[in-house]
């Protein structure tokens, strides 16, 4: 059986097969990384301590900022690499990839330093109480202060590898960290660290796992750079042209802001939840982990779609680009529909997985699980709308439409979701807070489809004018 080249995947392989080749490893990687993020919550939940669960919920928002920063250089640089390959500019791709790597390193150092200095006031602002701030501080020290560099650089390298056609290597590197964390969590939480330090044990396991994943991704990146237009050279990074610099940030900044705004929304949820009580915060924290399952599949699908769309957009093959967009959209909507059905039926048992009701304070844990199941049945309805928002955003990023991506992100979170969150919480309490997600995402999805329609129309009009010259 002949090996399919990277060029064939982008240009000639049937769209469903090409999409599977690029997206399946990415989806698997997203799911494994989701599992290892959930593993911390799962094992912490074995203690039956709702306050530990609430603390990790608060710290998760700081972890999400690592994803935002990695999108700045990973998606910004990665989508640019795909477009430069489509235009036949390998030297530009090398300099852009190298610049992305060093940008990620510098950003990680600055972010981890700031959190190290201002950890407690930041965590208090995010919703940590006297009962949870100690746990949250310990977790943040290892995962953010010590762990931002391996986390942020790993995600950036994975994006660059994926956009150069090495989706399987990128996914394996991220998955390696996930699998290792699954193995290390119980060892550090229940064997190495004494009782009462389970949160710290989970954080140390995560730090070690992410570092191991980075080591593999560095090896994979240097190996791929022998034949692919990728580089880690500081000299190459300094040669990035002004136009490529501008294009990188034109996509990277909106992508980072999109994730940061999502993180801001999570912060608002935490603040509003903690205003009710720590159990509402813990229950909402469980739900925000569970609902990431369909999100992980759909984001993985969109990440696999992005390089194909970007390449064919730059090479001028609009038919293949549009076929890829339509195929990915159909698959994502089907996945979302199935997830809604399953979560509506299994909300109780799924929520119970994350917090033991037979350990420590069983009554408090049972209340938390009950609240989580209630919120989950409401919030899971947002899944198809969330996918449409992701799908449209990734399509615009692939086409280099940074301004439109930023407009979509701002309207989705700042005009719809976050204001609805405060309004519905005020009117209907915690049930209204849960309901704000499907309401906000539905409005955001409608706006994104309208915006994308005009982007495509304008792009087609521009291409027609160029052809007539």
> Mind giving me the DSSP string for 239-252?
T--HHHHHHHHHHH
H-helix or E-strand spanning residue 303: helix 292-315
> Mind giving me the DSSP string for 102-162?
HHHHHHHHHHHHHHHHHHHHHHHHTT--TTTHHHHHHHHIIIIITTHHHHHHHHHHHHHHH
Look at residue 1 and tell me whether its pLDDT is greater than 60: no
Decide if 183 contacts 163 (C-beta within 8 A).
no
Count of beta carbons in the 10 Å neighbourhood of residue 24: 16
Tokens of 153: 């650089």
- Regarding predicted confidence, which is higher, 217 or 315? 217
Look at residue 454 and tell me whether its pLDDT is greater than 80: yes
**Mean pLDDT value across the chain:** 86
Look at residue 403 and tell me whether its pLDDT is greater than 60: yes
Mean per-residue pLDDT, 214-225: 94
Look at residue 441 and tell me whether its pLDDT is greater than 50: yes
- Regarding predicted confidence, which is higher, 64 or 412? 412
Mean per-residue pLDDT, 396-408: 86
Q: What is the pLDDT of residue 57?
A: 72
> b vs e for 240-261, b when ≥16 Cβ sit within 10 Å of the residue's Cβ?
beeebeebbbbbbbbbbbbbbb
Give the count of alpha carbons within 13 A of 166, CB side only: 26
Q: What is the pLDDT of residue 374?
A: 94
Q: Round to whole Å and give the CA distance between 18 and 1.
A: 16
- Regarding predicted confidence, which is higher, 110 or 168? 110
Q: What is the SS3 assignment for 25? A: helix
Look at residue 314 and tell me whether its pLDDT is greater than 80: yes
Q: Which of 53-57, 88-92, 234-238 has the lowest mean pLDDT?
A: 53-57
Look at residue 114 and tell me whether its pLDDT is greater than 90: yes
Q: What is the pLDDT of residue 254?
A: 80
pLDDT tens column, 120-147 = 898 888 777 788 888 888 888 998 999 9
Q: What is the pLDDT of residue 139?
A: 86
Look at residue 401 and tell me whether its pLDDT is greater than 90: no
Q: What is the pLDDT of residue 357?
A: 63
Q: Round to whole Å and give the CA distance between 132 and 343.
A: 29
- Regarding predicted confidence, which is higher, 273 or 31? 273
Tokens of 10: 């982008």
Place 440 in a pLDDT band, splitting at 50, 70 and 90. Answer: very high
Q: Which of 42-51, 115-124, 179-188 has the lowest mean pLDDT?
A: 42-51
Q: What is the pLDDT of residue 125?
A: 83
- Regarding predicted confidence, which is higher, 463 or 95? 95
Look at residue 268 and tell me whether its pLDDT is greater than 60: yes
Q: What is the pLDDT of residue 250?
A: 84
Look at residue 239 and tell me whether its pLDDT is greater than 60: yes
Decide if 373 contacts 357 (C-beta within 8 A).
no
Q: What is the pLDDT of residue 112?
A: 94
Q: What is the pLDDT of residue 335?
A: 92
Q: Work out the percent of the chain whose per-residue pLDDT is above 90.
A: 36
pLDDT tens column, 51-74 = 787 777 777 778 878 888 888 898
Q: What is the pLDDT of residue 462?
A: 66
pLDDT tens column, 342-367 = 999 999 888 887 776 665 567 787 88
Q: Closest Cα partner for 72 from 103, 97, 98, 106?
A: 103
């Amino acid at each position: 059986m002949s090996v399919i080249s990277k060029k064939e995947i982008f240009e000639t392989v049937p769209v469903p097969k090409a999409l599977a080749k690029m997206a399946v490893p990415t989806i698997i990687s997203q799911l494994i990384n989701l599992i290892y993020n959930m593993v911390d919550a799962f094992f912490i939940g074995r203690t039956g301590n709702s306050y530990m669960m609430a603390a990790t919920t608060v710290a998760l928002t700081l972890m999400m900022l690592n994803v935002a920063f990695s999108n700045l250089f990973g998606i910004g640089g990665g989508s640019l690499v795909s477009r430069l390959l489509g235009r036949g500019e390998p030297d530009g791709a090398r300099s852009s990839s190298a610049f992305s790597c060093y940008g990620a390193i510098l950003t990680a150092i600055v972010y981890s330093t700031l959190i190290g200095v201002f950890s407690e006031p930041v965590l208090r602002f995010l919703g940590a109480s006297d009962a949870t701030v100690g746990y949250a501080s310990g977790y943040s020290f290892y995962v953010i202060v010590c762990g931002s560099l391996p986390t942020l650089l790993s995600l950036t390298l994975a994006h660059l590898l994926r956009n150069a056609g090495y989706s399987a290597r990128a996914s394996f590197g991220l998955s390696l960290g996930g699998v290792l964390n699954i193995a290390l969590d119980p060892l550090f939480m229940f064997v190495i660290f004494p009782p009462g330090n389970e949160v710290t044990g989970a954080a140390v396991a995560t730090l070690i796992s992410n570092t191991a994943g980075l080591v593999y991704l560095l090896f994979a990146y240097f190996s791929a750079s022998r034949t692919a237009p990728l580089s880690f050279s500081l000299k190459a990074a300094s040669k990035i042209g002004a136009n490529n610099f501008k294009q990188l940030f034109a996509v990277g900044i909106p992508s980072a802001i999109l994730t940061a705004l999502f993180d801001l929304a999570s912060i608002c949820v935490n603040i509003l939840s903690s205003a009710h009580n720590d159990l509402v915060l813990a229950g909402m924290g469980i739900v925000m982990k569970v609902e990431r399952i369909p999100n992980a599949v759909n984001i993985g699908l969109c990440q696999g779609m992005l390089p194909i769309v970007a390449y064919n957009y730059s090479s001028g093959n609009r038919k293949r680009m549009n076929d890829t967009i339509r195929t990915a959209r159909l698959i994502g909507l089907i996945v979302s529909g199935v997830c809604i059905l399953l979560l509506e039926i299994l909300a109780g048992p799924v929520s119970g997985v994350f917090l033991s009701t037979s350990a420590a304070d069983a009554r408090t844990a049972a209340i938390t699980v009950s609240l989580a199941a209630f919120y989950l049945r409401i919030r899971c309805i947002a899944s198809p709308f969330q996918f449409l928002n992701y799908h449209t955003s990734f399509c615009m990023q692939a086409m280099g439409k940074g301004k439109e991506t930023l407009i979509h992100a701002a309207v989705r979170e700042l005009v719809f979701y976050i204001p609805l969150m405060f309004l519905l919480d005020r009117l209907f309490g915690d049930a209204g807070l849960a309901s704000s997600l499907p309401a906000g995402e539905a409005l955001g999805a409608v706006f994104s489809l309208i915006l994308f329609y005009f982007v495509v129309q304008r792009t087609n009009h521009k291409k027609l004018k160029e052809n007539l010259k």
